[in-house]
Amino acid sequence: MEAKVAAVVVTFNRIELLKKCIGGLRNQSRKPDEIIIVNNSSTDGTVEWLSKQTDISVITQPNTGSAGGQFTGIKSAYDKGYDWVWCLDADVVPDQNALQMFLTSDVMGDKSLGFLSSTIYTPENSLCYINIPYLENSNSMTKFNCLKILSASFGSVLFSRNAIKTVGYPIPDFFIWGDDAEYTFRMRERGFNGFLVAESKATHFEQNNFPNPFLEMNYLERKAFFAVRNTIYIIKLRNRILYKSYLRGIASALIFYFDIVLKRSKRKNWDMNSLIKFSRYFISGLVYNPRKFLNNETN
């Protein structure tokens, strides 16, 4: 019996990019069995456009960010009984064979398979920095170019029902930034494997493709709080998985902090108020202990 796949896309005020993303989903050589759009209360005509589409399931909710949107979308797909949930960002357009390459990859027989990630490029055909996954300490390609990874982004990632059943859902409180890394790290911590599928490709229409966005970030903006707090939490989680060490996680977080402070100071591209905010966000990440939702919880 063929596996059933739901595609989940979260959007907020990105109507033109959303149209491209949905176009990519409609054009798949192996089409998803359902396209679920989670609309975080867009105000740019998204609601009106979606209301005219007959092949899309739409969930409109208050703006809970990427994390809250993926929570809703993944839970909806899981509750409907889908075997696989394919999550994408609204500004990502999958290649025609992206889903087919997932489903025919040589790791599909892995009973511990938790997630598969596409290889994501910029429109200029360079690797998109923000979508490059964490790799294993030692690694090798499988026969059909699947690379074992520790985490993946919501740019284009396929989750198994079994993994969702075991670990639950993304953490809504993350709002934006790192919600995907945390979710996939958590799957790895529970014994599930993740792979980057080289031949499953997508294009990310991201305007800022910096190797280290923390060197460019405006720490007076609201999203900076989530970026720093969530990143520190993930650094601790990653070290717990790789090295079984809480102290190493704290040390890695401190290295991250001083590295950003020193490099930003040399560039002279921030002021004391920004440094104070960055420091506060860093401390928030050290003590952050968010609630995780299991698949039998409804609120």
DSSP 127: B
Q: Within this chain, do residues 35 and 181 fall inside the same structural domain, yes or no? A: yes
Query: Between helices 246-267 and 272-287, what is the axis angle to 10°?
Result: 170
Which of 141, 175, 204 is the endpoint of a domain? Answer: 204
Q: Counting Cβ atoms within 10 Å, is residue 142 exposed (0-12), middle (13-18) or buried (19+)?
A: middle
Q: Specify the pTM.
A: 0.92
Q: What mean pLDDT value characterizes the chain?
A: 92
Give the pLDDT confidence of 241-289 residue by residue, as tens digits.
888 899 999 999 999 999 999 999 988 778 899 999 999 999 999 999 9
Q: Within this chain, do residues 164 and 219 fall inside the same structural domain, yes or no? A: no
Q: Within this chain, do residues 153 and 239 fall inside the same structural domain, yes or no? A: no
Which of 167, 187, 204 is the endpoint of a domain? Answer: 204
Q: What percent of the chain has pLDDT over 70?
A: 95
Q: How many domains does the chain have?
A: 2
Q: Within this chain, do residues 97 and 156 fall inside the same structural domain, yes or no? A: yes
Give the pLDDT confidence of 22-45 residue by residue, as tens digits.
999 999 999 999 999 999 999 999
Q: Within this chain, do residues 148 and 283 fall inside the same structural domain, yes or no? A: no
Q: Within this chain, do residues 230 and 261 fall inside the same structural domain, yes or no? A: yes
CA 44 to chain centre: 24
What is the per-residue pLDDT for 142? 52
Q: Within this chain, do residues 97 and 237 fall inside the same structural domain, yes or no? A: no
The whole-angstrom separation of Cα 167 and Cα 162 is 9
Please give the residue range of the domain that contains residue 163: 5-204
